[in-house]
Structure 1
Amino acid sequence: MSSLTSRDFALQSDANDSLSSLRQKFHIPQHNGADVMYFTGNSLGLQPVDAKKYIDEELEDWKNLGVEGHVHARRPWMPYHENFTKSLARLVGSKPEEVVAIGTLTNNLHLLMVSFYRPTESRFKILCEAKAFPSDQYALASQARFHGFDPKEAIIEVSPREGEHTIREEDIHEIIEREGDSIAMMMIGGVNYYTGQVFDMNSLTKFARAKGITVGWDLAHGIGNIELKLHEWDVDFAAWCSYKYLNSGPGSIAGIYIHERHHGQRDIPRFEGWWGHDKGSRFAMPDQFEPIPTAEAWQLSNVPVLAMAAHRASLDLFDHVDLAELRARGRKLSNYLREVLLEVAELTGREIEIITPANEAQSGCQVSVLFPGLGKDLFDKLLAAGVIADWREPHVIRMAPVPMYSSFEDIYRFGETLLNVLKEA
């Protein structure tokens, strides 16, 4: 293989990278006595080394303090979610009062749409991308039905053009221009889970809001991956999970963003619970809800401290790195993966099609790849050889080298493995 994809190049790239030491902060799964080639941070991030310590501390306080841990634990449980406010605000580009760690992703989307999908007889449609993550599609369809509308009439899906894999943003603009007066809400995945396409959330938000459309973004594949400036972009609401690029453990605590213009409204449609009530009078147990004047008003119940402890272990790592440098490292890793894939295609004569946009403004860590004629059998052979990637029907292998713990050597080893597997196919 060429010098670009040589082991020396990969090792030198790791050695010259000041962030490569972050890998030591994570547990790397093993395969036949060696580190696996892990490219599935877009599905489940690896475990931070400190996660167990942080969880054990809360277990110890629970053992020793019982209920008093709510106020006397090392990190008191009652305001535990407040440990994440500044970290999350930094990651999504918001004011601290606009974010809160809460719930799970689809649950949060439903809670947000109670407030922000307010259809009328003439303005009831929802604009989303075709091939959205299925849970988003189910949530949107069920919201439409809940309000008495047929999803086939209420939901407008923007699709790639024939023969293309990604969506042209001018096609979204065209639909907004044509049907904007009938669209109540636009809710799109900021990074498409299947193709890895990153949408221009800034321009699309401004274009839609100018037409009176409420705008929300699913950032499951965005947070911890790409640059976000939700407040500056004037986004109405957003939601995310934390178990992908935020490395907080399977099914861990998620989060929401709500622009400050929606705060402090007593009469906004909202499902309410006692943890969203004014903190000063919460334990006076009043019978009337008084919303906290921040995104915290959308909280329902007290927080899952043990799950949040793992979340804290990961966010502490983000707090101590320059996010621009981290994203730059992610781009270098993904670009190197592209180069390796193209070289393998050249050496084997096999067709390998990368469907994630090459433009760095339209892509993050994820690289989605088609191997025509090979499909799941190839994926299974790679898995057996220690490559943990991600298969998505009908025929895509998703790979995401994550700058927190992936290495150039991982990608070099993957190239060698793929080359050998293809030679035997």
Structure 2
Amino acid sequence: MPTYKLGLDFALELDKNDDLASYKNQFHIPKDKDGNDLIYMTGNSLGLQPKITKSYVNQELEDWANLGVEGHTEAKNPWLPYHEFLTESMAHIVGAKPIEVIVMNTLTANLHFMMVSFYKPTKTRYKILIESAAFPSDKYAVESQLRHHGYDDKEGVVLWKPRKDEELLIHEDLEEILEQQGDEIALIMIGGVNYYTGQFFDLKRITKLGHKHGCVVGFDCAHGAGNVQLNLHDSGADFAVWCTYKYLNSGPGSLAGCFVHERHAHQKDLNRFTGWWSHNKHTRFNMRDEFDQLPGAEGWQLSNPPILSMAAIRASLDIFNDVGIEKLVGKSKILTGYFEFLLKELGEDVIRIITPKNEDERGCQLSIQVINADKSLHNKLTEAGIISDWREPDVIRCAPIPLYNSFVDIYNLVERLKAILNG
């Protein structure tokens, strides 16, 4: 890691020496009304559009126009196996084997499908453990699963909470919860990177601990995929889900991803919802055959996938393939470290960063609290050309994305913030 310095010249030097600097030109950067680039810091909410995306989607539109139904087999990228074009790249991004990964459905839908298979409550073991500041959709999903199985949706949720007057979660507190209630918990379902604080949890440690107490373990990696090295296979987790429209730049509401550990790949007796796309692809169109379960994560598919969404995902994954998740994470640590350095120079009596200081316990997001500030500060940042993200009650989330944010972006952001605070 470099020794960070103040001043614009240092930011320019970092950009000059950045091997990935040119990738910013491969993305559409939103502009203000005067045509100036905005400083876009919300790739943790919706990633920017790669310039190649239009050509990838247009290819499928042209094949649809020219081929009609024959596009399923005759398109330049045949539609029948299209999801397979994404598997290897996505598996590398999340640290999995190809048999463990599938792109399908949307995030919370996949979470429910995973819980159909992996949440198996009994009279004595039925509770679900989540972090107290879990993304609301995760909380709603697990509560609805409890209700679906006839349990109280409040009593059945066990919360992993931060200690008094703290924001971050402590793994030792999770160990204590499981020592006390482990035999009542059927499922641990944690956000791999917490959306609010940006804390990146030790997935392997959590999985090992959960399995020790007889719990199934799954992760929502919406804020981790394309941001940190998740190493899902090595974590040993039973399942994981994630979206592709944040760090993976696939467009609003695009398809999601799903991981099922290979030890479950051939468990045909696992309860699951099924459809014709989880049937043996070699006999799928015989129509009259009895259901024949596909092995691996593919066996959780239901319907033929939306090709236009997958084309956008494929465009983004091709950029990730070109760069490599390892290089992206390497730049991310320097970019985020530089951002942290500049914020701290404003003074801890002005800015509080609630994201972990340890670079291995966070991705590129920094969640900041400005002392005695409210949402009006966020509005002023927006007016100053900074697209950040406000989360109640008092956090501004900023995510310097290594693919399309520069060190000068970070310098200018902090300078504008400083001007607002001093104004």
TM-score normalised to structure 1 length: 0.97
Distance 1:65 1:256 in 2: 31
Matches within 5 A, 1:53-132: 53-132=55-134
Distance 1:5 1:49 in 2: 33
Matches within 5 A, 1:174-189: 174-189=176-191
Please tell me whether the aligned partners of residues 124 and 184 of structure 1 are also in contact (alpha carbons under 8 angstroms): yes
Distance 2:384 2:290 in 1: 60
Please tell me whether the aligned partners of residues 97 and 295 of structure 1 are also in contact (alpha carbons under 8 angstroms): yes
Please tell me whether the aligned partners of residues 344 and 418 of structure 1 are also in contact (alpha carbons under 8 angstroms): no
2:262 corresponding residue in structure 1: 260
Q: Which amino acid aligns with 1:392?
A: R
Distance 1:69 1:27 in 2: 29
Please tell me whether the aligned partners of residues 129 and 159 of structure 1 are also in contact (alpha carbons under 8 angstroms): yes
The gaps in structure 1 that reach 5 residues or longer are none
1:377 corresponding residue in structure 2: 376
Distance 2:37 2:331 in 1: 20
1:400 corresponding residue in structure 2: 399
Matches within 5 A, 1:287-302: 287-302=289-304
Deviation at 1:345, TM superposition (A): 3.2
Deviation at 1:233, TM superposition (A): 1.5
Q: Which amino acid aligns with 2:21?
A: S
1:365 corresponding residue in structure 2: 364
Distance 2:60 2:240 in 1: 29
Matches within 5 A, 1:8-407: 8-31=9-32, 32-345=34-347, 351-407=350-406
Distance 2:252 2:35 in 1: 25
Please tell me whether the aligned partners of residues 62 and 69 of structure 1 are also in contact (alpha carbons under 8 angstroms): yes
Distance 1:96 1:245 in 2: 20
Aligned length: 420
The gaps in structure 2 that reach 5 residues or longer are none
1:423 corresponding residue in structure 2: 422
Please tell me whether the aligned partners of residues 283 and 289 of structure 2 are also in contact (alpha carbons under 8 angstroms): no
Deviation at 1:229, TM superposition (A): 1.2
Deviation at 1:287, TM superposition (A): 4.9
Please tell me whether the aligned partners of residues 85 and 101 of structure 1 are also in contact (alpha carbons under 8 angstroms): yes
What is the DSSP-based 3-state SS (H/G/I as helix, E as strand, rest coil) of the residue aligned with 1:208?
helix
Deviation at 1:33, TM superposition (A): 2.5
Distance 2:300 2:322 in 1: 29
Please tell me whether the aligned partners of residues 266 and 290 of structure 1 are also in contact (alpha carbons under 8 angstroms): no
Please tell me whether the aligned partners of residues 277 and 291 of structure 1 are also in contact (alpha carbons under 8 angstroms): yes
What is the DSSP-based 3-state SS (H/G/I as helix, E as strand, rest coil) of the residue aligned with 2:128?
strand
What is the DSSP-based 3-state SS (H/G/I as helix, E as strand, rest coil) of the residue aligned with 1:369?
strand
Q: Which amino acid aligns with 1:385?
A: A
RMSD across aligned positions (CA)? 1.2
Q: Which amino acid aligns with 2:12?
A: L
Deviation at 1:128, TM superposition (A): 0.7
Distance 1:117 1:156 in 2: 14
Q: Which amino acid aligns with 1:209?
A: H
Deviation by residue 1:244-270 (Cα, 9 ceiling, x = unmatched): 000000010101000112123332110
Please tell me whether the aligned partners of residues 237 and 259 of structure 1 are also in contact (alpha carbons under 8 angstroms): yes
Deviation by residue 1:78-117 (Cα, 9 ceiling, x = unmatched): 1110011101110111110110000100000001100000
Deviation at 1:397, TM superposition (A): 0.2
Deviation at 1:7, TM superposition (A): 1.2
Distance 2:359 2:178 in 1: 25
Identity %: 54
Distance 1:284 1:322 in 2: 40
Deviation at 1:344, TM superposition (A): 2.6
Please tell me whether the aligned partners of residues 99 and 265 of structure 2 are also in contact (alpha carbons under 8 angstroms): no
Q: Which amino acid aligns with 1:420?
A: A
Segment of structure 1 superposing worse, 286-295 or 374-383:
286-295
What is the DSSP-based 3-state SS (H/G/I as helix, E as strand, rest coil) of the residue aligned with 1:138?
helix
Deviation by residue 1:324-367 (Cα, 9 ceiling, x = unmatched): 22101001111111111112337xxx521000010112111000
Distance 1:181 1:410 in 2: 50
Distance 1:196 1:300 in 2: 33
Deviation at 1:288, TM superposition (A): 2.4
Deviation at 1:159, TM superposition (A): 0.7
Distance 1:88 1:75 in 2: 18
Deviation at 1:323, TM superposition (A): 2.0
TM-score normalised to structure 2 length: 0.97
Deviation at 1:63, TM superposition (A): 0.4
Distance 2:6 2:86 in 1: 40
Segments of 4+ moved more than 4 angstroms: none
What is the DSSP-based 3-state SS (H/G/I as helix, E as strand, rest coil) of the residue aligned with 1:374?
coil
Deviation by residue 1:21-68 (Cα, 9 ceiling, x = unmatched): 111111111123321111101000000010001001110000000000
Distance 1:301 1:324 in 2: 33
Segment of structure 1 superposing worse, 320-329 or 385-394:
320-329
Distance 2:122 2:289 in 1: 31
What is the DSSP-based 3-state SS (H/G/I as helix, E as strand, rest coil) of the residue aligned with 1:406?
coil
What is the DSSP-based 3-state SS (H/G/I as helix, E as strand, rest coil) of the residue aligned with 1:80?
coil
Distance 1:5 1:81 in 2: 47
Deviation by residue 1:204-224 (Cα, 9 ceiling, x = unmatched): 111111211100000000010
Please tell me whether the aligned partners of residues 219 and 241 of structure 2 are also in contact (alpha carbons under 8 angstroms): yes
Distance 1:147 1:46 in 2: 40
Segment of structure 1 superposing worse, 282-291 or 356-365:
282-291
Distance 1:250 1:63 in 2: 24
